[in-house]
């Protein structure tokens, strides 16, 4: 599947998208070629009983929101009795799409649309050799429309069920059609259509959410202000919280000195000064880490990683390698003299001092001796120890462990533990609301609500905050 196809359906794994016609789910008169994208009719074509169809490899996932594919008529064959559309898993493939229950089709010989019936309705123009017919399934409003050579022909079907398969049917000799499931650009501007649908959907959401006359006395307005205020207090933005409280007449639910203490701890963590952070926590909250040994162990693992992080930044009079110390090797005085005259190594090549390495290895042995039984902590510790195997840990496959952003989750965990020990919520209401919203949208996708494909919280917030 091309990047175009995956870009159109970001919530759906490639493996779950229709990508070609099924070599197993077809009538015997259908022949496939060109990676199962080209369909040939290989029957007698004397009566409608000789019709043959083929389904795609997968049904259309509701999480696509809007799904589109195109079929190019390579040859109309003898009569051009060709149908393009959709069918569920149980529809007989010895019929053109639209003739059977739970199947839908647009036929080329008469331009009629067929919905679960052999009686067609006038819909669009006929199509023949060289034409490109597109089929769009809108799972937001459960409609289907077709395109011909890039022109939208209007809605063909309404109230279509979910779980349908792209389907094509042929009936007379010489009929050949090529499918495009997104492996190359479409003739129709499906991206533009999706943008229009997204815009309408967001407008509907905003209209609905602003339909009530909110004001300073409105309960929802007050709740939202408290949520924002709680977020600031939770993360220790003391100055911003004080200004916000004055502007909104809100009151602190935690003493300002307590907020400042949490802020001090968080700053140490984010600077990589884990040892100092542990000392400060033990001073301010003497029983906290004793009651949470797993959190303490996580802090110690991070401290070990930060010690590795700091090795290359220490001033050195003489370099030693980790391997040499682990193997118990000693350098001679003559070797030391030679090293003193060597050019200054680059950061990646620089070797740490012997004392720093000895402290690092000693601390590592102490961590290992704790013999934790928690599988996740064991994995984290082994990953940290693995950094010792590389001459330049930052350039190693696990060098990401040394990145400052790896401190963020630990910082959040420690902050939540401090709040909990003080009888305050571990997570601010604003974050809980955002998390609940994301989970709700995910559940909507699982339940087949197509609109949820375009209600992603991150994308919606970006569009809402974008300057108009």
pLDDT digits (tens, 9 = 90+) for 429-464: 998 988 888 888 888 887 878 888 887 777 666 655
Give the confidence band of 136 by pLDDT, cuts at 50, 70, 90.
Answer: very high
State the CB neighbour count (10 A cutoff) for residue 42. 15
**Radius of gyration over alpha carbons of the chain, in Å?**
32
Query: Quick check: 350 pLDDT over 60?
Result: no
Query: Quick check: 256 pLDDT over 50?
Result: yes
CA angle 95–52–76, rounded 5-degree value: 110
Overall pTM > 0.95: no
pLDDT of residue 341: 43
3-state helix, strand, coil in the chain (%, to 5): 45, 15, 40
Please write the tens of the pLDDT for every residue from 293-343.
Answer: 999 999 999 999 999 988 866 544 334 444 444 444 444 343 333 334 445
- DSSP code of residue 170: E
Arithmetic mean of pLDDT, 173-191: 95
Length reported for the chain: 468
Helix segments in 235-353, DSSP class H: 238-248, 256-270, 274-284, 288-291, 293-311, 322-326, 333-340
Tokens of 315: 């001033």
3-state SS assignment for residue 239: helix
Tokens of 282: 């033990």
């Amino acid at each position: 599947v091309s990047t175009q196809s995956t870009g159109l359906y970001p919530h759906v794994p490639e493996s779950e998208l229709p990508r070609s016609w099924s070599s197993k789910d077809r009538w015997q008169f259908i022949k496939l070629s060109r990676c199962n994208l080209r369909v040939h009719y290989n029957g007698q074509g004397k009566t409608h009983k000789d019709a043959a169809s083929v389904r795609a490899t997968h049904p259309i996932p509701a999480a696509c929101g809007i799904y589109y594919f195109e079929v190019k008529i390579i040859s109309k064959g003898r009569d051009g009795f060709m149908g393009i559309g959709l069918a569920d898993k149980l529809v007989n493939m010895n019929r053109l799409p639209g003739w059977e229950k739970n199947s839908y089709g647009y036929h080329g010989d008469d331009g009629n649309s067929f919905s679960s019936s052999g009686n067609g309705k006038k819909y669009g123009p006929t199509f023949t050799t060289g034409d490109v017919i597109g089929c769009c399934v809108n799972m937001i409003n459960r409609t289907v429309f077709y395109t011909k050579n890039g022109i939208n022909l209007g809605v063909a079907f309404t109230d279509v069920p979910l779980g349908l398969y792209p389907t094509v049917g042929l009936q007379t000799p010489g009929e050949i059609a090529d499918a495009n499931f997104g492996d190359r650009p479409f003739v129709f501007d499906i991206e533009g259509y999706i943008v229009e649908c997204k815009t309408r959907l967001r407008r509907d959401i905003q209209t609905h959410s602003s339909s009530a006359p909110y004001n300073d006395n409105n309960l929802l307005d007050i709740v939202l202000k408290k949520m924002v205020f709680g977020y600031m207090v939770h993360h220790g933005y003391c100055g911003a919280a004080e200004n916000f409280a004055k502007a909104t007449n809100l009151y602190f639910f935690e003493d300002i000195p307590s907020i400042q203490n949490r802020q001090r701890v968080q700053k140490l963590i984010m600077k990589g000064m884990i040892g100092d952070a542990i000392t400060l926590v033990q001073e301010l909250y003497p029983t906290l880490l004793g009651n949470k040994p797993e959190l303490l162990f996580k802090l110690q693992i991070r401290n070990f990683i930060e010690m590795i992080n700091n090795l290359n930044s220490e001033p050195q009079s003489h370099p030693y390698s980790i391997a040499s110390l682990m193997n118990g090797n000693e350098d001679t005085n003559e070797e030391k003299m030679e090293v003193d005259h060597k050019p200054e190594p680059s950061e990646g090549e620089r070797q740490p001092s012997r004392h720093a390495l000895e402290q690092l290895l000693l601390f590592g042995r102490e961590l290992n001796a704790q013999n934790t039984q928690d599988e996740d902590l064991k994995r984290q510790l082994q990953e940290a120890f693995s950094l010792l195997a590389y001459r330049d840990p930052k350039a190693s496959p696990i060098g990401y462990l040394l990145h400052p952003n790896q401190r963020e989750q630990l910082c959040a965990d420690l902050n939540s533990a401090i709040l909990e020990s003080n009888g305050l919520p571990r997570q601010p209401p604003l974050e809980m609301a955002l998390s609940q919203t994301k989970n709700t949208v995910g559940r909507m996708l699982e339940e087949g609500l197509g609109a949820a494909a375009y209600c992603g919280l991150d994308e919606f917030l970006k569009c809402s905050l974008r300057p108009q």
